[in-house]
Amino acid sequence: MLETVASCALTVSETAVIKKNRLAPKEAAGKQKRIAIVTGVHGDELEGQYVCYELIRRITRGQADLTGIVDVYPALNPLGIDAVTRQIPRYDLDMNRIFPGGEGGTPWEHMAKQVIDDIAGADLCIDIHSSDIFLREIPQVRISSDFAPKLLPYAKLLNADFVWVGNASSARPSSLSYTLNSMGTPCLVVEMGAGLKITKEYGDQLLDGIFALMAKMDMWTGRVSGVSNPMVSTDGEVTVIHCEKSGIFMPAIEHWIGISEGDHIGDILNVFTGETEEEIFSPVSGTVFTLREYPVVSCGSLIARIFGGGL
């Protein structure tokens, strides 16, 4: 059932609306568990759109197997999705920097509060993100060290390839995930793919994890697929590689492979002189879980993240 979660008036007699689709059992059997699936916080991150569509489609077809409540929020930043921008157009706000929101401030801060109030109290929230246009990420769960003991058991069931414990982006106090976790509502952050793209195989992989997690929480009695056992790391096990020159990055490796210390990662090319400005080699042995997607780089651009070694 479609429900309006928050709304605000715009110019020219228009209204911005945040909606959710509530999927519930046909027959209530007391207090049911509730899970929230959230995406579209950033308008240029589209991987979660397919997940929402397919999740709703599968649950609708298997309604008899649903024993809990699933709230699906496909577009927390609907204007950003429509305009293909990361932030909220006109307001130039990053929605993931204004939680928990409040009655004062911009209309979007008021809407952020309404979103938090609506999700609060759920047994679990899954906040689905893509990377930006510059990087490609394997399906991974990012959780703050502050909440790791509570969140890690959920994260291991989500069929991700990688769980990054202690990731700084999941610990920002103004983010949706940190706000909910601080309030006692468990929230996992999923990161996968690249900006402005939908990678179906990544979405299907995550969907298998969502249904497996729902089954473990006694919210789903239908068939579920087996889930993989993810690699789990802390910040100290992640090596981040930046380039030192500007130019065009040409990778010498594939995404999501194992490499050894000294392996050639790629080159920075000078298109004006036909010369190689920089050769990049891995300082550690490990697995490449982030790789540069957008080829144009400047000094300091992020090239890769490797799990399994430290500088």
For residue 133, give every residue at least 6 positions away whose Cβ sits within 8 Å of its Cβ, in sequence order, or none. Answer: 44, 194, 195, 196, 293, 294
Q: Considering the entire predicted model, what is its pTM?
A: 0.96
Q: How many CB atoms lie within 10 A of CB 249?
A: 23
**Beta pairing, strands 187-193 & 286-292:** unpaired
pLDDT of residue 311: 40
Q: Encode pLDDT of 156-176 as tens digits.
A: 999 999 999 988 777 789 999
Q: Encode pLDDT of 29-67 as tens digits.
A: 778 999 999 999 999 999 999 999 999 999 999 999 999
pLDDT of residue 235: 77
Identity of the residue numbered 250: M
pLDDT under 70 in the chain at which residues?
309-311
Contact 96, 175 (CB under 8 A): yes
CA 144 vs CA 68, 139, 155: distances in Å: 27, 17, 12
Please measure the distance between the N-terminal and C-terminal CA atoms of the chain and give it in whole angstroms. 51
Contact 215, 209 (CB under 8 A): no
